[in-house]
Structure 1
Amino acid sequence: MKQALQFYIDGSWVSPVGSATLEVINPATEEAYARIAMGEKADVDKAVAAAKRAFGSFSRTSRKERVQLLESVIATYKKYADEMAAAISDEMGAPLEFAKQAQVGAGLGHLSQVLEVLKTYEFDEVVNNTLITREPIGVCGFITPWNWPMNQITCKVGPALATGCTMVLKPSEVAPMSGLLFTQIIHEAGVPAGVYNMVNGDGPSVGQALSTHPDIDMVSFTGSTRAGIAVARAAADTVKRVSQELGGKSPNIILADADFLRAITHGTRQCFSNSGQSCNAPTRMLVPADRQEEVIEIARKVAEQTVVGDPRAATTTIGPVVSKVQFDKIQALIEAGVAEGARLVAGGPGRPENLNRGYYIRPTIFADVRNDMTIAREEVFGPVLAILPYSSEEEAIAIANDTIYGLSSYVTAGNLDHARSVARQIRAGMVHINGASGDLAGAFGGYKQSGNGREWGKFGFEDFLEVKSMFGYQAA
């Protein structure tokens, strides 16, 4: 069993204050394969103090110095791509090739994007005789999830380094091994002592300590809406900036003039991808009522072609979900769908055939779903698709917007102007038009209870900056 019983503070691997540990479970085998130390408030205090000491000098580094630092981080990250993919696959169940191409690739993409932003970003502008300058916000606390570990860690660490902030990271205790490896990458890349610190632990201990700490200037959190509310409440007393990327229940509107075979196939695959463990997954598919049976047959074929199995097998499409807690939650939601009268057309409760071990979920599709059903309201976070029929375009838009969430959405139409028109009416932070992929130069984030703040590109970069006005800067 791997032993990872230290934290990274002030440029060194150090022993924790306490003795608590946690076993890391491989979701494909249900067996523990590693043990991590679990931090407490005193560990956070040490890490924050190191970050605070480092901020004075790191915040004054030049653009050139930070460009070179990011280039070093990127080069080191590339060296560890295969090892990182294996770590992610073992800790959260992603198929190995998917882990390398999508999970590890996302981290590289974000680091590369923030480097490009840094090279040309205008930190200063003159308005009348006032200088508007953008300065690093200070010491940041990062709380990241298990479902896309490198995506979310690099979304926060990259722009913080680029803008001159210092930080303390708490990776998910459910899937911590990739975060530990990323910390080694940071160390080898030559990030100055104290600029980056890492403490493992759970939300009530380390997460709470970061959120309430008076010397933390910003908390960036990615996770459930329930946990995000707790972070915001904890941070309120010190009036720190809070950036949150939370849950989603993204609608996928298939308009009547769309190419149904292409749109339904793509949308169903996207819903099942990463075992459904993506906050922006298109889990509510809205289709014309008079064509629902056609949609069902296309989606059912995708479910039948989705191979659930060992993450290390080359033929596997999706692996297990991350934990028994998630497995049990998803099973309960599938059973709720049946109990509330949705029509089960693929999958259902229980593991797939021939898999009696591991947290595997059958790719599941419900039809005749009403938007007041539990499976249409709650974030399932598993490979479960809800098909909702609509009678008019206006009703489709109303159903799409009838949710507490507003992270992502999808609109497909045969006519681009038609798709654009509907996209403008969706209350969500992102809309994918006609199957378009996300653009790392865009802005990732949501409306309503999907959070606040933005990640990716220039917009995520600016979340780490304070705006200062220097009046009378120009000579009279």
Structure 2
Amino acid sequence: MGHEKEFYIDGSWVDPIVPKLLDVIDPSNEEPVAQISVGGKADVDRAVAAAKAAFPSFSQVSREDRLALLRRILEVYDRRAEDLAQAVSREMGAPLKFAREAQVAIGRGHLAQIIKTLESFAFTEARGSTLVVKEPIGVVGMITPWNWPLNQITCKVGPALAAGCTMVLKPSEIAPLDAIIFAEILDEAGVPKGVFNLVNGDGPTVGEALSHHPDIDMMSFTGSTRAGILVAKGAAETVKRVSQELGGKSANILLPDVDLETAVTKGVAGCFGNSGQSCNAPTRMFVPADLMDKAALIAKQAAETFKVGHPNAGDTVLGPVVSAVQFDKIQGLIQSGIEEGAELVAGGLGRPEGLNRGYYVRPTVFAHVRPEMRISREEIFGPVLSILGYENEEQAIDLANDTPYGLAAYVQSKDLDRARRVASRMRAGNVFINYPAWDSAAPFGGYKQSGNGREYADFGLNEFLEIKGVVGYEAA
């Protein structure tokens, strides 16, 4: 590294126009791990101008040359994998093993998938005498979050490059170090000057400047629903396209025929992964009412196996949550669950025993949760599971869909046909049946207040393309 206090603009590492520094906090000890420069509107203007100037030539680069570029990026990404893992672990608290095997690996998966997608993607289609053409949309502003930073960077930058777009990336200022390394990777791989630009900063300054900028053709945003609304409002002034992946409160329906121990245990693991900091985490578990107490006991036993500790410790399963703000929010929601009468089965308020510093949260399970409780309604973004009971399948579906969110849903059953029927009624962009493996080719995105647009593979590539109809292309 060494570029923490610089931005990557027009193929070079440059100083901010107005110097301003921000500490990056290590959530395991609450101490600064690095300092970055944060930019302002003038830095955004400079980056957008570079991207705009690069677009006419890069948009005409052949498929073969774009594939060659993406393959070089993947090669350098693999070589820098350990640097990326160390950065993610330090900046957002991911256990080092998880940073390597999940955080960095998922970014690699997206790069490999977009290469595969681009190899066979149809950019043109003949319809009679009309030629339908898919062309790059232009300059893209990208805002990415701190919880799965490389996942979101690669599933935006990869398809944007594949499409022939140019871009300005603003990563989360809470976890920006991996993005700086990623910019170094693109630089080493030979991305043409101006095609990829990086400006660090916060949402109200850099994010807002991108959203409002008249020379940005599209905003691709991942983050909270609250922030997504602000991005959309800013983008509306210039009628730019907005693709958003926002919050979630995903339901996990355990149908009566499941192996309860397996289904609950895997559901707890799905909720707690990444310290609960996943927008599509199955945080609301629905179980038959007469199995509530049995499910609660299984969940308690499962929760108690999750070792919380320092990210570098070999036996750590869950690291800290990312910040003091997140820690306080989670504590407040746990307190609300207790006050509103949910049964605290595991975990609870405060840090785990022996951890007196750092943003560590006790893996927490509530049973007998009612749908109107805050822990059932609000996105907690921590290792907190709510278990709700239902009387019949119809009620389970109604309760699961009774949320302003619609990012993901989960259905567990020994009867695959039944699970499919329930899945067809879930108002969510993804439905996962019986805890399947991750699929980098599946569309990812939400219904309702979980956003619009889709990411991953050809679905993500299409987001960065305009459709043009050339009528009379063939002689009648």
Secondary structure of the 2:449 match is helix
The answer to whether the 8 Å contact 1:2/1:33 transfers is no
The answer to whether the 8 Å contact 1:346/1:363 transfers is yes
Quick one: which amino acid aligns to residue 465 of structure 1? L
Q: Does 2:269 correspond to 1:273?
A: no
Moved over 4 A (4+): none
The residue aligned with 2:219 is 219
The answer to whether the 8 Å contact 1:25/1:31 transfers is yes
Q: Distance in 2 between matches of 1:33 and 1:282?
A: 32
- Aligned-residue CA RMSD (Å): 0.9
The residue aligned with 1:130 is 130
**Could you report, residue by residue, the CA deviation over 1:209-248 in whole angstroms, capped at 9, with x for unpaired residues?**
0000000000000000000000000100000000000000
The answer to whether the 8 Å contact 1:210/1:216 transfers is yes
Secondary structure of the 2:252 match is strand
The residue aligned with 2:373 is 373
Q: Distance in 2 between matches of 1:378 and 1:287?
A: 20
What is the TM-score normalised by the length of structure 1? 0.99
The residue aligned with 2:295 is 295
Quick one: which amino acid aligns to residue 81 of structure 2? A
* Alpha-carbon distance, 1:20 to partner: 1.2
Unaligned runs of 5+ in 2: none
The answer to whether the 8 Å contact 2:33/2:91 transfers is no
The residue aligned with 1:410 is 410
* Alpha-carbon distance, 1:271 to partner: 0.4
The residue aligned with 1:362 is 362
Between the aligned residues of both structures, percent identity stands at 62
**Could you report, residue by residue, the CA deviation over 1:54-91 in whole angstroms, capped at 9, with x for unpaired residues?**
00000000000000000000000000111100000000
The answer to whether the 8 Å contact 2:138/2:218 transfers is yes
Q: Distance in 1 between matches of 2:55 and 2:202?
A: 26
Q: Does 2:71 correspond to 1:83?
A: no
Quick one: which amino acid aligns to residue 458 of structure 1? D
The residue aligned with 2:38 is 38
Secondary structure of the 1:459 match is helix
Q: Equivalent residues in 2 for 1:26-425 (5 A)? A: 26-425=26-425
* Alpha-carbon distance, 1:437 to partner: 2.6
Quick one: which amino acid aligns to residue 408 of structure 2? S
The residue aligned with 1:473 is 473
The residue aligned with 2:432 is 432
The answer to whether the 8 Å contact 1:330/1:380 transfers is yes
The answer to whether the 8 Å contact 1:88/1:94 transfers is yes
* Alpha-carbon distance, 1:33 to partner: 1.4
Q: Distance in 2 between matches of 1:3 and 1:338?
A: 46
Secondary structure of the 1:431 match is strand
**Could you report, residue by residue, the CA deviation over 1:267-315 in whole angstroms, capped at 9, with x for unpaired residues?**
1011001000000000000000000111111111111100000000110
**Could you report, residue by residue, the CA deviation over 1:102-127 in whole angstroms, capped at 9, with x for unpaired residues?**
00000000011011110000100010
Q: Distance in 2 between matches of 1:35 and 1:330?
A: 26
**Could you report, residue by residue, the CA deviation over 1:22-73 in whole angstroms, capped at 9, with x for unpaired residues?**
0000000100010000100000000000000000000000000000000000
Q: Distance in 2 between matches of 1:111 and 1:241?
A: 23
Q: Distance in 1 between matches of 2:435 and 2:44?
A: 43
Q: Distance in 2 between matches of 1:318 and 1:3?
A: 30
* Alpha-carbon distance, 1:438 to partner: 2.9
Quick one: which amino acid aligns to residue 23 of structure 2? E
Secondary structure of the 2:282 match is coil
Quick one: which amino acid aligns to residue 104 of structure 1? V
Which piece of structure 1 moves more, 2-11 or 95-104? 2-11
Q: Equivalent residues in 2 for 1:16-31 (5 A)? A: 16-31=16-31
Unaligned runs of 5+ in 1: none
Q: Distance in 2 between matches of 1:105 and 1:260?
A: 31
The answer to whether the 8 Å contact 1:307/1:317 transfers is yes
Q: Distance in 1 between matches of 2:218 and 2:438?
A: 26
**Could you report, residue by residue, the CA deviation over 1:397-452 in whole angstroms, capped at 9, with x for unpaired residues?**
00000000000010000110010010001000000001113311110000000000
The answer to whether the 8 Å contact 1:432/1:438 transfers is no
* Alpha-carbon distance, 1:2 to partner: 7.2
Would you say how many aligned residue pairs link Structure 1 and Structure 2?
Answer: 476
Quick one: which amino acid aligns to residue 405 of structure 1? Y
The answer to whether the 8 Å contact 2:3/2:180 transfers is no
Secondary structure of the 1:216 match is coil
* Alpha-carbon distance, 1:3 to partner: 7.0
The answer to whether the 8 Å contact 2:3/2:13 transfers is no
Q: Distance in 2 between matches of 1:229 and 1:423?
A: 28
The answer to whether the 8 Å contact 1:444/1:455 transfers is yes
The answer to whether the 8 Å contact 1:2/1:34 transfers is no
Q: Distance in 2 between matches of 1:273 and 1:126?
A: 46
Quick one: which amino acid aligns to residue 400 of structure 1? A
Quick one: which amino acid aligns to residue 94 of structure 1? A
Quick one: which amino acid aligns to residue 23 of structure 1? D
Q: Distance in 1 between matches of 2:41 and 2:264?
A: 48
